[in-house]
Structure 1
């Protein structure tokens, strides 16, 4: 019945099969991303609820253990703090955000006109450009850029209406997710116990315990990275806002939000965030550009050397090449969120592979002895 096992390289078949599957997935990364986005879209309410519950669970657990409260009371206090924070953010952030965006949109036409005038009167008439026929090439390309900017300026009511619909959809997902998260936190221990029961029912004890072990390790990595990085990025965003206010840089609020969000991405976050920050600041002149650049680089160094290690603790155990690979794949599948989640997920996969390889090596060493 198991005659195939006499084949000399039978053990290589699973490795070859897995390699082919991985190659096909990477080769069709756009299709994989589309399928995953569809699945995530269908499960969006539950995902919102799970994420909210996961982020609020440490606070609920702290209140429960620190003040010896019942689960219902600790959940009530947790959600009062959470909802109060959301209300305060909307009350303080939305007016400033709308004001910043409105000022940028109002200045865009004048900026495009000034840029076009400067290009036509200074750059295109430069002797070096004329000598090497660069003026015609530059003129053609800069016209495309300016036309694209003009197209962005022409915001009509249809676009505004679509954005309002998208925003209302996000609010609805948030509200539904909050309701689901309450039930998840109430039934947390029961759900975990039921999952363990299923594992022991369908698997032998050693495999079930191994899965539970890796579940705990995955939770530790995600909790350490996701929650820690979220707090870290919030602090960086606040420090960026305070710094820009002290430096008297315009549009400080919207720039701080951009830096805070992109800081969630390891290693490359502040570099990615600096590009739109400079694009926004370009309306305020070269002095503001220099101030923003120096501040963002300073915050990046402060975060990398001091704040990040203090909040997140030990690293996720990934070398730069693994992080670059994780961010690239995550970006292709689910954008910025994918870039953020991909790092701890890759850390879990890498740790699992290393553990499997070590077990195999140890077993072979013991058999040889």
Structure 2
């Protein structure tokens, strides 16, 4: 007897089977998602450890590449003896940039880091004094305002101020311990750093070869039109990201130096530490100078409220100078984002990745914007071509 298959019945049976099997699989994945994520995280962690010298080397090469390019084009190629010898100007450019980098790191470790550590240590020792001054100020304020025992306001403020000083002490001790331990255990990471420097040297020396090889591979597996678009996008993204990171770093360094000079002229204690905080936080657009200015004003206030007032005015003036003159001169319109989207990128980046997200949120969002604009342009071109074909 020959079996006759009803195709319609078979189709509905398959649909019903999928309707039962897929939810079961979905719930099984949810039940085991913790172990799955742990395994994936462990695999990525292992890969990251193995490739860390290459990742670090690529990052160093990317950061140093503009400097190498400048020395190569603006300095060494102008010297006839060097320009006549192929690759010599590239080698000398890389060596010059490396010498500058190592000199800056050496100066940082010898002169800046120990003084910042001493400033943090001194602030930790003075925290009980700051706490007593705060309690005394609260008590005087309570008596002057006649708020004795009114809703226990003073007691509430005093309790919270004590918690704030305890947290500040823990944070500062953590920073101090990390600075000291980083200096004491620098030899543990010296091998990775040396490997990264060597890898970055070869990356910078053979960057054209890497570029040509990557393009050949892409053309072998993708359409030429797609590769051309990817190359143009990569060039724009590199210019956008590199210009922002390097330009903003230079801008923040100048602001930190100007802040250090200004605080020293005003006779502010811990001027190096405070100017370093302001310089680093200046990497965050808009909010950075104010975030860095808050600890400077608070710490100075305990020494002298008058000086704290002048520090507030100085930080505001410095922020205006950076926003109206220095920043536009160095960066220009490097990211092409409106203020609303810059604030959006900072807030979202901070929520997703903390301080690092606030630093990198703007350039990453600008690159995402670039991708979206390219996709919109392509879609509009397709619609235009389709419309023309229909009219013909």
The answer on whether the counterparts of 1:49 and 1:181 sit within 8 Å (CA) in structure 2 is: yes
Decide which moves more: 285-294 or 91-100: 91-100
Equivalent of 1:139 in 151, 155, 163: 155
Structure 1 pair 180–103 and aligned structure 2 pair: CA distance change class (3 A): same
Map 1:208-219 → 2, pairs under 5 A: 208-219=227-238
Counterpart Cα distance in 2 of 1:246 and 1:156:
26
Map 1:20-169 → 2, pairs under 5 A: 42=49, 44-65=52-73, 66-68=75-77, 69=82, 70=88, 71-119=90-138, 121-130=139-148, 132-135=150-153, 138-150=154-166, 153=169, 164-166=180-182, 168=185
Deviation digits for residues 38-85 of structure 1 (CA, Å, limit 9, x no counterpart):
699645543432222112112212222321351333222221111112
Q: What is the CA-CA distance between 1:175 and the residue it aligns to?
A: 4.7
- Please give the TM-score of this superposition, normalised by the length of structure 2: 0.76
Counterpart Cα distance in 2 of 1:289 and 1:312:
31
Map 1:227-306 → 2, pairs under 5 A: 227-306=246-325
Structure 1 pair 175–254 and aligned structure 2 pair: CA distance change class (3 A): farther
* 5+ residue gaps, structure 2: 1-36, 83-87
Decide which moves more: 266-275 or 161-170: 161-170
Question: Which has the greater radius of gyration?
Answer: 2
Counterpart Cα distance in 2 of 1:143 and 1:208:
63
Q: Which has the higher contact order (CA 8 A, sep 6+)?
A: 1
Q: Does 1:319 pair with 2:338?
A: yes
Counterpart Cα distance in 1 of 2:201 and 2:176:
33
Counterpart Cα distance in 2 of 1:133 and 1:59:
62
Deviation digits for residues 175-209 of structure 1 (CA, Å, limit 9, x no counterpart):
55333322321232221212111211111010111
Counterpart Cα distance in 2 of 1:367 and 1:190:
40
Q: What is the CA-CA distance between 1:306 and the residue it aligns to?
A: 0.8
What is the aligned-residue RMSD (CA, Å)? 3.1
Counterpart Cα distance in 2 of 1:280 and 1:171:
34
Structure 1 pair 333–128 and aligned structure 2 pair: CA distance change class (3 A): same
Counterpart Cα distance in 2 of 1:313 and 1:260:
19
Counterpart Cα distance in 2 of 1:179 and 1:334:
30
Structure 1 pair 47–270 and aligned structure 2 pair: CA distance change class (3 A): farther
Structure 1 pair 312–152 and aligned structure 2 pair: CA distance change class (3 A): closer
Q: How many residues align?
A: 334
Equivalent of 1:343 in 358, 362, 369: 362
Secondary structure (helix, strand or coil) at the match of 1:67 reads helix
The answer on whether the counterparts of 1:109 and 1:153 sit within 8 Å (CA) in structure 2 is: no
The answer on whether the counterparts of 1:255 and 1:280 sit within 8 Å (CA) in structure 2 is: no
Q: What is the CA-CA distance between 1:338 and the residue it aligns to?
A: 2.1
Decide which moves more: 334-343 or 147-156: 147-156
Counterpart Cα distance in 2 of 1:232 and 1:342:
18
